[in-house]
């Protein structure tokens, strides 16, 4: 372990005060009949009764009971819930493949501007030229970054982008009267990939990884045929490794008439370094809530634009905002001739797209490249700190994240990847992704991102090393593992997941 950067880590939440240790009651338990928070405009409209307005057969007999609380109590409740929630603003979030970087506040302010947020999606195109400009410029920037010809911004998240990509594949082959039934996915792929393939009407063919952690080219060659619609790849892959054979893979897939789909979950470390279009990809999905710093909202909203090469542009979802030659407007809406149709009611998660536009403007070409450099530097530096303590199943330089294994420590001490993850919470850091990718035993997938300082990355490394040493010491002393009881400093301790599933209580009324 290096003794560099042994200063206080700004990314540790260990000092976060958590007052008290009671549970927070639900909003329903606070209800008191007659108490209220709302107030509405004075309208001056005649106060017809419900039965004067709507036939009695349609009216409910009993009121719809929600809750009855004061504004002050509403604020208290949700503020206390906020205090029971970890977030990037609180501390480092090295969750592999999730790219939990800092989200600039100015992007949130942009999304709150009434001139954008107050626009109804059915407003005629000539009256929303500002929005059209944002969408067109974002599309152009994303195409420049990925090396593609055009993009749709409609998909609302990564999985929606995947399905859109598969439907584009389907439309492309159908237009060539070419019936294809299979899509190839490596065994290290994200779980959304195979689920999307099924919804796209294809069968999944899985190919394995070789001993370097790359797609096994021989297995791929054997799996390829003229019934293959395409392949879905993440590059860098979920081991954090750059697929060095990508050019050969692209050539092989194209030779049988298949298309290459790029899962953009891991785009962050290649910004300005190498472009999916130049690697040979035909369809590129991006997660703006990862690479382009739009906040993840505790599980959404995201945005999953899909960029395509020239031969697929005519199939893109419509309507598309495009530059116009019309004198009245600079931008207009176009439905591509062979469009697969709409994949969203309107233009996608517009306010998320606006945040990404703002982020790209702020960073520019120079800032985006610096993001890639520092994301990769942090990941490799962190990994080297862990050498000798954790196992490196695929020992190669990484890109944005590193995957280490707890299997050796587990054999020696009984400590599992889950225990390490839970114990790390007590050091004030969010856990890494655990047990993924599936091809690594007892995996910890760690993505520090570029916005964590070297001090923070060093503190994460020190914590992981201390957890390992502590387990070894406990094991040799024949004592119980401290990590097995972790976390103890959090609002609740480990939860009984089996009970939640066995005895389902998913609403207050089911209690």
- Within 226-285, the residues that bind another protein by CB under 8 A are 241-242, 244, 246-247, 270-275, 278-279
Paired with 433 in beta bridges are 445
Which helix (H) or strand (E) segment holds residue 231: the answer is strand 228-233
Cα atoms in the 13 Å half-sphere on the side-chain side of 1: 18
Using a 10 angstrom Cβ sphere, with 0-12 exposed, 13-18 middle and 19 or more buried, the burial of residue 105 is exposed
Considering only residues 452, 464, 468, 471, which one is a binding residue for another protein as defined by CB under 8 A? 452
Distance of closest approach, residue 304 Cβ to another protein, in angstroms: 8
Distance of closest approach, residue 276 Cβ to another protein, in angstroms: 10
Query: Following DSSP, what letter does each residue of 425-483 receive, concatenated?
Result: HTTT----EES-STTSTTEEEE---TTS-HHHHHHHHHHHHHHHHHHHHHHHHTPPPSG
Distance of closest approach, residue 247 Cβ to another protein, in angstroms: 6
Considering only residues 323, 453, 465, 466, which one is a binding residue for another protein as defined by CB under 8 A? 453
Q: Among residues 283, 287, 286, which one has the least CA distance to residue 301?
A: 287
Residues 38-97 that bind another protein (CB under 8 A): 38, 40-48, 50, 53-55, 58-61, 63-69, 71, 74-75, 77-79, 81-90, 93, 95
- Coil, helix or strand at residue 167: helix
CA angle centred on 471, ends 470 and 474, rounded to 5°: 85
Between the alpha carbon of residue 77 and those of residues 15, 24, 29, 69, 72, the distances in Å are: 22, 8, 11, 10, 9
Residues 416-435 that bind another protein (CB under 8 A): 421-422, 425, 430-431, 433
Distance of closest approach, residue 218 Cβ to another protein, in angstroms: 20
Q: Give 373 or 470: the residue with its C-beta nearer to another protein.
A: 373
Distance of closest approach, residue 411 Cβ to another protein, in angstroms: 25
Q: Give 17 or 44: the residue with its C-beta nearer to another protein.
A: 44
Q: Give 58 or 327: the residue with its C-beta nearer to another protein.
A: 58
Size of interface with another protein, in residues (CB under 8 A): 208
Considering only residues 165, 186, 213, 302, which one is a binding residue for another protein as defined by CB under 8 A? 302
Q: Give 19 or 48: the residue with its C-beta nearer to another protein.
A: 48
Residues 192-221 that bind another protein (CB under 8 A): 192, 194-201, 204
Residues 306-345 that bind another protein (CB under 8 A): 317, 340-345
**Is there binding between residue 381 and another protein (CB under 8 A)?**
yes
Q: Among residues 317, 346, 330, which one has the least CA distance to residue 151?
A: 317
Phi, then psi, of 185 in degrees rounded to 5: -135, 135
How many CB atoms neighbour CB 264 within 10 A? 28
> How many whole angstroms separate alpha carbon 437 and alpha carbon 197?
19
Q: Give 142 or 313: the residue with its C-beta nearer to another protein.
A: 142
Cis peptide bond N-terminal to 437, omega within 30: yes
CB 160, CB 343: distance < 8 Å: yes
How many CB atoms neighbour CB 54 within 10 A? 11
Q: Among residues 105, 26, 95, 120, which one has the least CA distance to residue 67?
A: 26
Distance of closest approach, residue 474 Cβ to another protein, in angstroms: 19
Considering only residues 141, 215, 220, 224, which one is a binding residue for another protein as defined by CB under 8 A? 141
Q: Give 227 or 472: the residue with its C-beta nearer to another protein.
A: 227
Q: Give 19 or 492: the residue with its C-beta nearer to another protein.
A: 492
**Is there binding between residue 367 and another protein (CB under 8 A)?**
yes
Residues 464-503 that bind another protein (CB under 8 A): 485, 487, 490-497, 499-501
Cis peptide bond N-terminal to 236, omega within 30: yes
Distance of closest approach, residue 98 Cβ to another protein, in angstroms: 6
Distance of closest approach, residue 157 Cβ to another protein, in angstroms: 4
Considering only residues 7, 8, 191, 221, which one is a binding residue for another protein as defined by CB under 8 A? 191
**Torsion over CA: 419, 421, 425, 428 (sign):** positive
Q: Give 201 or 225: the residue with its C-beta nearer to another protein.
A: 201
The residue behind tokens 């972790």 is 486
């Amino acid at each position: 372990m290096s003794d560099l950067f042994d200063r206080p880590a700004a990314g540790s939440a260990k000092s976060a005060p958590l007052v008290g240790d009671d549970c927070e009651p639900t909003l329903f338990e606070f209800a008191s009949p007659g108490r209220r928070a709302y107030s509405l405009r004075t309208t001056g409209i005649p106060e017809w009764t419900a039965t004067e307005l709507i036939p009695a057969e349609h009216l409910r007999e009993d009121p719809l009971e929600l809750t009855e609380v004061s504004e002050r109590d509403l604020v208290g409740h949700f503020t206390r819930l906020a205090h029971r929630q970890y977030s990037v603003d609180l501390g480092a979030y090295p969750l592999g493949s999730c790219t939990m970087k800092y989200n600039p506040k100015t992007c949130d302010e942009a999304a709150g501007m009434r001139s954008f947020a107050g626009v109804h999606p059915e407003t005629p195109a000539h009256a929303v030229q500002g929005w059209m400009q944002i969408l067109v410029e974002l599309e152009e920037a994303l195409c420049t970054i990925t090396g593609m010809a055009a993009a749709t911004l409609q998909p609302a998240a990564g999985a929606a982008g995947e399905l859109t990509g598969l439907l584009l594949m389907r439309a492309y082959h159908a237009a060539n009267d070419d019936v294809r039934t299979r899509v190839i996915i490596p065994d290290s792929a994200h779980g959304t990939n195979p689920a999307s393939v099924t919804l796209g009407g294809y069968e999944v063919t899985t190919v394995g990884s070789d001993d370097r952690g790359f797609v096994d080219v021989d297995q791929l060659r054997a799996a390829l045929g003229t019934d293959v619609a395409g392949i879905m790849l993440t590059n860098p892959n979920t081991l954090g490794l750059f697929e060095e054979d990508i050019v050969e893979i692209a050539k092989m897939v194209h030779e049988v008439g298949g298309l290459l789909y790029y899962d953009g979950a891991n785009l962050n470390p290649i910004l300005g370094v190498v472009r999916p279009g130049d690697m040979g990809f035909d369809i590129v999905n991006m997660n703006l809530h990862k690479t382009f710093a739009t906040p993840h909202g505790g599980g959404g909203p995201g945005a999953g634009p899909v960029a395509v090469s020239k031969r697929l542009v005519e199939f893109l979802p419509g309507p598309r905002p495009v530059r116009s030659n019309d004198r009245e407007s600079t931008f207009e809406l176009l439905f591509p001739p062979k469009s697969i149709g709409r994949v969203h009611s309107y233009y996608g998660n517009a306010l998320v797209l606006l945040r990404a536009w703002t982020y790209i403007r702020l960073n520019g070409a120079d800032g985006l490249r610096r993001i890639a450099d520092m994301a990769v530097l942090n990941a490799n530096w962190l990994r080297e700190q862990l050498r000798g303590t954790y196992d490196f199943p695929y020992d190669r330089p990484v890109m944005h994240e590193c995957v280490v294994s707890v299997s050796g420590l587990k054999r020696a001490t009984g400590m599992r990847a889950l225990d390490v993850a839970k114990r790390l919470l007590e050091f004030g850091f969010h856990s890494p992704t655990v047990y993924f990718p599936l091809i690594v035993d007892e995996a910890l997938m760690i993505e520090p991102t570029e916005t964590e300082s070297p001090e923070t990355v060093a503190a994460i490394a020190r914590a992981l090393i201390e957890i390992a040493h502590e387990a070894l010491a406990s094991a040799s002393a024949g004592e119980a593992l401290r990590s097995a009881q972790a976390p103890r400093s959090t609002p609740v301790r480990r939860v009984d997941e089996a009970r939640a599933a066995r005895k389902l209580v998913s609403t207050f009324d089911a209690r």
